[in-house]
Amino acid sequence: MSTSPAPIIIDTDPGVDDFIAILMALRSPDLDLLGLTTVGGNTSLGNATLNALRTLRAGGRPDITVASGAAEGRTRPFIFADHFHGETGLAMELPLPDMEALETSAVTWLAQTLTNRSDSITLLPVGPVTNIARLIEEHPEAANRIGRMIVMGGAVDCPGNATDCAEFNTWNDPEAAEIVFGFGIETTLIGLDVCNQVAFTRENIREGAGPGRLMMDAWFAEHPDSKEFHLCDPLAVAVAIDPTLVQTESISVAVDTSDGPERGNTSRCTGRGADGPPIDVALEVDVERAVRIISALAL
């Protein structure tokens, strides 16, 4: 019996791994990508929005909606990752898009789409969750209509990548992450606990011939000393396609919003807050199967 593709929206800050993730969503017969909302993070909001449009063009779907969102975090400007993703946010130059982003903001478009559609939408935030926190504050009824969120963020039982303890997306807006994880939407958290295990290497991209392969070649050329590229955002899309790829534990997650060295750290809530809504934190992943799914759709 065939089922219809699941409607999804990706909230993104492209970003090389965001590019791969979006290509997967475009190519998967199991997913129906309704639109992209953008946020600053890996790069400025302006670059992220252009890159979202460029990615849709590269994937042959320039008709898909892009709505632009937050240029800064709730309490601080974003700190970009040009050293990793490149000055424009992508490792390779892509043609300028011939489409434009909506005039409507990301938060308004999300609220309208969630309200107007009768089916259950899965939301995949793969950048700082600033737009989603605003949606919750400004349109809580619409946010309550989200079927499930698959969030790329956090590092619960492992070290961080932005600092010793914090993962980049939660570190860039921990105040937003605290609101989003505490709101009670059914959530799967795809953090570094699993993302660090799933990687492209120069060897396992050899079979590809499409835009994903070209992007990875460009990234490895820019990073001659790197042996692997962690597939963080693509793993979130792979889990939207096949939730059995990861094993999860239901945990209340605390986000550190202090000004200290722990800022952005995500940890198991003990003490105060331990009665907050639990989310499904991915702690184990079927690495081989995940790499196979990502390669087949993105390279």
CB of 122 to Ca ion, least distance (A): 17
User: Is the separation of the CB atoms in 96 and 50 below 8 Å?
Assistant: yes
Binding to ligand BDR (CB under 6 A) within 172-231 occurs at none
Q: By CB under 5 A, tell whether 285 contacts Ca ion.
A: no
Cα 136 to the center of its chain, rounded Å: 18
Which of 45, 101, 123, 126 contacts ligand BDR by CB under 6 A? Answer: 126
- What Å distances lie between residue 126 and 89, 212, 272, CA to CA? 14, 18, 28
Helix (H, G, I), strand (E, B) or coil at 194: helix
In 3D space, the residue among 241, 243, 125 whose CA is nearest the CA of residue 183 turns out to be 125
Is 233 or 286 the residue whose CB approaches ligand BDR more closely? 233
CB of 118 to Ca ion, least distance (A): 30
Q: By CB under 5 A, tell whether 127 contacts Ca ion.
A: yes
Q: By CB under 6 A, tell whether 11 contacts ligand BDR.
A: no
CB of 198 to ligand BDR, least distance (A): 12
User: Is the separation of the CB atoms in 114 and 146 below 8 Å?
Assistant: yes
Residue number of the CB atom closest to ligand BDR:
168
Considering CB distances under 5 to 8 angstroms, the limit depending on partner class, which of Ca ion, ligand BDR, none binds residue 81? ligand BDR
Q: Which two tokens stand for residue 84?
A: 């990793």
User: Is the separation of the CB atoms in 198 and 230 below 8 Å?
Assistant: yes
CB of 284 to ligand BDR, least distance (A): 19
**Helices (H) then strands (E): counts for the chain:** 12, 12
CB of 266 to Ca ion, least distance (A): 16
Which of 168, 181, 220, 229 contacts ligand BDR by CB under 6 A? Answer: 168
CB of 155 to ligand BDR, least distance (A): 8
Q: By CB under 5 A, tell whether 18 contacts Ca ion.
A: yes
Binding to Ca ion (CB under 5 A) within 227-256 occurs at 233
Q: Which two tokens stand for residue 249?
A: 């534990």
**Beta pairing, strands 121-125 & 65-68:** unpaired
Q: By CB under 5 A, tell whether 8 contacts Ca ion.
A: no
Q: Helices 45-58 and 16-27 sit at what angle, rounded to 10 degrees?
A: 40
Kindly list the residues in this chain that would bind ligand BDR in the complex (CB under 6 A). Answer: 15, 17-18, 42, 81, 126-127, 152, 161, 167-169, 232-233
